[in-house]
Structure 1
Amino acid sequence: MPRSSRSLPWILLIGGIIGLAAAAVLTVEKIALLRDPAYVPSCSINPILSCGSVMSKPQAEVFGFPNSLLGIAGFAVIVTVGVALLAGATFRRWFWIGLQIGVTFGAVFVHWLMFQSLYRIQALCPYCMVVWAVTIPIFWYVTLHNVNRPKLTRLHSVPLTIWAVVVLSLIGEQFWSYWRTLL
């Protein structure tokens, strides 16, 4: 069994728990903000790292309810699949196709939200960035499992490293004028 397939249950479990925790905190913060518009979320650190700025925008409720609720549901499924795989469960092909569709939606949605944060809202939500950071490896390792190509599996960490460098570069470039004031 390829290393990435042996790692998949742990990636789903750990990534799912981290994503679920971030989505839960975002939901609690959003409820507090709805109750009291003057509330300052714990993740509003400075003008750039500011959950409040992101949560108050229409992009935070794309489907008419807080996006974090999608995260709670999605990451709960991911955690459950990870635990089931660790317990020895095997799933039929249709299940893996369904999971692939779900994680692909999550990856596309996260990238759309990333673009919105960087170039439209011009603020970053730390908890949202945690969701970005776990969604991509979850997507990538589910994809590797489903395509089952040994050559891709051997190079499994390369696309994730490139993705992280690109995202960090975009963040650095977009907010450089702010970051340099901190130096």
Structure 2
Amino acid sequence: MTATAPDAVASTVSPVDRQAGLAVPRASAVWVLIAGVVGLVAAATLTIEKIELLIDPSYTPSCSLNPVLSCGSVMVTPQAALFGFPNPLIGIAAFTVVTVTGVLAVANVRLPRWYWSGLAVGTLLGTVFVHWLIFQSLYRIGALCPYCMVVWAVTIPLLVVTASIALQPATGDHADAGNAVARGVHQWRWSLTALWFTALILLILVRFWDYWSTLL
């Protein structure tokens, strides 16, 4: 029998087994694991730097490189502890979950769709928070935290990947509509990510151009 278009897409994005959960494509599973580990290391490093700064207010964080790339300038602001405690603690908790999920996915443990949907929603909330921090860094604080930027760099594509996993082709009622969304997200996910990063890089270049131009 000749494969239909939905079948062709289903062969690219692993099929759904309702009883065993979603079969995650190998590349996506590896990316979730890498994003979790990198984000966790960045969040833990920021937490350690914050502790050092609390112990010794004159301490210069390792990521304070120049007037623009300066973790120290960011860490002492109210925005760095929005909920009354250092923001990196949120990152440690969140990226621990992502890392464990990545390990399970790489090990071919099929987690249910509701789990991946929940992770995608949680990542979406994290992405909103990250963009609030980006706005604050660019237009209120006037400095960039390199370790924070690592978190930004993994959170955005992590959202795209988890969303594409959660929206894998389904069967049953409204499957065609759901599969159309899934195909669209899967097909354009990296183009969307590239445009997203391009916009952020341009914002950073424009905001701090007076400083960057002195380095040319």
- TM-score computed with the length of structure 2 as normaliser: 0.82
Runs of 4+, deviation exceeding 2 Å: 1-5
Taking every aligned residue pair, what percent have the same amino acid on both sides?
51
Matches within 5 A, 1:37-52: 37-52=57-72
RMSD value over aligned CA atoms? Answer: 1.3
Task: Deviation per CA, 1:19-48: give whole Å up to 9, x if none.
Answer: 111111100000000111111100000000
Match of 1:96 in 2: 116
Tell me which residue corresponds to 2:36: 16
Which structure features the higher share of helix residues? 1
User: How high is the TM-score relative to the length of structure 1?
Assistant: 0.96
Task: Name the CA distance, whole Å, in 1 between partners of 2:45 and 2:51.
Answer: 10
Q: Using the alignment, how far apart are the partners of 2:12 and 2:47 within structure 1?
A: 37
Shift of 1:102: 1.2
- Which of 1 and 2 has greater Rg? 2
Instruction: Could you tell me which runs of 5 or more consecutive residues in structure 2 were left unpaired when the two chains were aligned.
Output: 1-10, 15-23, 169-181
Structure 2 counterparts to residues 58-73 of structure 1, below 5 A: 58-73=78-93
Is 1:105 matched with 2:125?
yes
**1:94 shift after superposition:** 2.4
Q: Which runs of 5+ in 1 are unaligned?
A: none
Question: What is the distance in 2 between the residues matched to 1:137 and 1:35?
Answer: 35
**Stretch of structure 1 that moved more, 133-142 or 144-153:** 144-153
- What is the correspondence of 1:75-86 to structure 2 with a 5 Å cutoff? 75-86=95-106
Q: How many residues align?
A: 183
Determine the C-alpha separation between the residues in 1 that align with 2:130 and 2:12. Answer: 28
Q: CA–CA distance in 2 between the matches of 1:10 and 1:48?
A: 33
